[in-house]
A = this chain, B = another copy of it.
Amino acid sequence: MSKGKLTGADVAQHNSRDSCWVIVHGKAYDVTEFLPEHPGGQKIILKYAGKDATEEFDPIHPPDTLDKYLDGSKHLGEVDMSTVEQEEKVADPEETERQERIKRMPPLQACYNLMDFEAVARDVMKKTAWAYYSSGADDEITMRENHSAFHKIWFRPQILVDVENVDFSTTMLGAKTSIPFYVTATALGKLGNPEGEVVLTRAAHDHDVIQMIPTLASCSFDEIVDAKKGDQVQWLQLYVNKDREITKRIVQHAEARGCKGLFITVDAPQLGRREKDMRSKFSDEGSNVQASGGDAVDRSQGAARAISSFIDPSLSWKDIPWFQSITKMPIVLKGVQRVEDVLRAAEMGLDGVVLSNHGGRQLDTAPSGVEVLTEVMPILRERGWENKIEIFIDGGVRRSTDILKALCLGARGVGIGRPFLYAMSTYGQAGVDRAMQLLKDEMEMNMRLIGATKIADLNPSLIDVRGLNSGHHASVPSDTLTLRAYDPLQAPRFSEKAKL
């Protein structure tokens, strides 16, 4: 102790699995017992055992995390930071190149669509942050299919409709909004922007767009609610905790703070394996030790157990009435993936479902939301249930044409996630603002071009979905020898030298 504070040396002694202290924002914590509970695994904590973990901790955890999840007895008090040894940072050539690219970044006005933000983000985001945002499950087939599915739907536009005045405002779960998309919940906003999710809150306000607040935000829930202005609408996305009292507290707090909808995630009883993300985190340390199989087993079980305390894999249909009993917010299931489950949700009096596969991050070769939508709507209409329950979709929405297709099919709105993260991670709030404006510009134009002046004009006769409703095809593997022997046609050849 120096002047009643802990010293760096004090903390440094607790640098092992048996006694593990870490420093965060100038305070020391004993996380020895917490190690096996850590959702992100023990390994990452042990890397900082006896050291200052602030830089690693910050983007991934809301500021109230330690208070919420670590018993007071483990809060060891302040550390005299002048006594903590500074680790010398090794120059990382990849990071140097990234900083160089940031200096040469394209101006915001050069982004003309939502994919442009992604292209810039890929080059300027931290490698690990990019990997976390951009990764999907297994071979990322579903992740890519999500956008690709929209290209299998084509328009049948109407002409000679008076489209001078176009209005695409609508309502979702009873709340008015300027355009039928919402900012869907995505985790760990501070990986991309030091301010985190509140950046999205502010941009959503400026564009009169609804925001869904994620359970796994980097900002605390209250920070995000505090950032809203006026009658701005927010919803809550919920991972259901094994301890239902915690869940109840979260839900009722959200309702009290004005949230207008509860979206219960049902497609993630276990968080997906995302190999791009795993690979990006892989450190070469110790890599010469060819791990025995035993270790793999242990780590796996550890992760599964740890997560199970945050996300309850036993959540089932019989829990639904309990949710209906603890809140008056409209309740929506997020992550529904088949017709039968939509019907069951409707039968149980739920207010909506989001047809979603979690951005392709959970089960690979799960169908896109928009594909499930094409199967769900005709059956709902057959039963006269199309107004009994609101159907949302998310995943792969990048263009206003995507939004229009979903609405023609019968969706009430669509969620957009990653594109706003990329916009926020590259150009901050101005980026998100431009992304939203681009969608509005596209929306106005494309409403005109299909001959619709208001949301109610959108209907299935305006689209052709046959391409989406005949299963998932792949071509016969190519015949390499023939392909390579083929001598393709050439365009006219320019001379090598200028003619006189």
Contact = CB atoms under 8 A, between A and B. Distances in A.
Interface of A: 100-101, 103-113, 115-116, 118-120, 122-123, 130, 134, 138-141, 144-145, 147-148, 150-164, 203, 206-207, 266-267, 269-270, 272-273, 275-276, 278-279, 282, 284, 287-293, 296-297, 300, 304, 308, 312-317, 319-320, 333, 335-338, 340-341, 362-367, 398-399, 401, 427, 430, 433-434, 436-438, 440-442, 444-446, 448-450, 464-477, 479-482, 484-499
Contact of A291 (B150, B430, B486): B430
Contacts of A484: 119, 491
Contacts of A490: 276, 279
A313 B449 contact: no
A333 to B, nearest CB: 7
| Max chain B C-beta neighbours (<10 A), residue from A122, A141, A436 | A141
A489 B139 contact: yes
A105 B491 CA distance: 12
A203 B289 CA distance: 19
B113 A492 contact: no
B365 A154 contact: yes
Contacts of A433: 292-293, 296
Nearest to A481: B115
A239 to B, nearest CB: 14
Contacts of A464: 367, 471-472
Given A116-B481, A267-B449, A270-B449, 10 more contacts: A104-B498, A116-B491, A122-B485, A141-B476, A276-B489, A279-B490, A300-B440, A363-B401, A470-B470, A484-B491
23 contacts: A100-B498, A104-B497, A106-B494, A107-B287, A107-B289, A109-B282, A110-B279, A118-B485, A122-B485, A130-B487, A139-B489, A148-B479, A152-B472, A157-B366, A159-B267, A160-B316, A160-B317, A162-B314, A270-B448, A293-B436, A296-B441, A313-B448, A467-B474
Contact of A474 (B148, B308, B338, B450): B148
A290 B427 contact: yes
Contacts of A473: 152, 467, 470, 473, 475-476
Chain multiplicity (copies): 4
Contact of A476 (B104, B152, B401): B152
A490 to B, nearest CB: 7
A157 to B, nearest CB: 5
B467 A152 contact: no
8 A-B pairs with least C-beta separation: A466-B471, A293-B433, A119-B491, A107-B287, A467-B471, A106-B492, A103-B498, A144-B477
Nearest to A493: B106
A308 B159 contact: no
A138 B340 CA distance: 36
Contacts of A465: 471
B494 A313 contact: no
Contacts of A115: 481-482, 485, 491
Nearest to A368: B154
A111 to B, nearest CB: 6
B437 A297 contact: yes
Given A273-B445, A476-B467, A399 B138 contact: yes
Given A270-B445, A365-B155, A467-B471, A482 B161 contact: no
Given A473-B476, A477-B140, A275 B489 contact: yes
A490 B105 CA distance: 15
Contacts of A163: 269-270, 313-314
B481 A489 contact: yes
Contact of A479 (B151, B270, B445): B151
Given A115-B491, A273-B441, A449-B267, A108 B290 contact: yes
Nearest to A426: B492
A418 to B, nearest CB: 11
| Max chain B C-beta neighbours (<10 A), residue from A436, A464, A476 | A476
| Max chain B C-beta neighbours (<10 A), residue from A106, A120, A398, A472 | A472
A192 to B, nearest CB: 15
Contacts of A290: 107-108, 427, 430
A312 B163 CA distance: 9
B446 A287 contact: no
| Max chain B C-beta neighbours (<10 A), residue from A139, A288, A340 | A139
B449 A284 contact: no
A477 B313 contact: no
